[in-house]
Amino acid sequence: MKPGDIVLIRFPQADLKQGKLRPALVIAISPSRHPDLLLALISSRLYQATPEFDEIIYSSDSDYINTGLKVASVIRLGRLTSVESSVINARLGSISPERLIRIKNLLIYWIST
């Protein structure tokens, strides 16, 4: 796996209870000896998107076909988690390098403000 990949995982809920199987974006891989993955939740509930923060992938986007997603979806940048790579169920696809850079820049701005 690498940053930009979309994977399938039981994404933990905010209360740390085990969630249901859903897609998530690999944002980064920890540089430590334990290669944990930083993930962002992906949801098909577009109405939950935070304007000018979350990233929406529309079916008309040029990289949509490569994502492996079934419908237009929102990458929820406020819903991050770090997990061991062993908990990943499958790799679905990937986003474009340009979209990944945009997402990382949004996260950098959020964290630095």
Q: 5-112 — its CATH code?
A: 2.30.30.110
Round the average pLDDT of the chain to a whole number and report it.
91
Model confidence pLDDT, tens digit, residues 29-78? 998 888 899 999 999 999 999 999 999 999 999 999 999 999 999 999 99
Residues 6+ apart with CB under 8 A from 95: 4, 6, 25, 57, 63, 66, 67, 103
**Predicted local distance difference test score (pLDDT) of residue 109:** 94
- Judged against a pLDDT cut of 90, whether residue 19 lies above it is answered with no
**Considering the entire predicted model, what is its pTM?**
0.90
Closest CA to 101 of 10, 16, 27: 27
pLDDT of residue 10: 83
Q: What is the pLDDT of residue 18?
A: 66
Q: What percent of the chain has pLDDT over 90?
A: 73
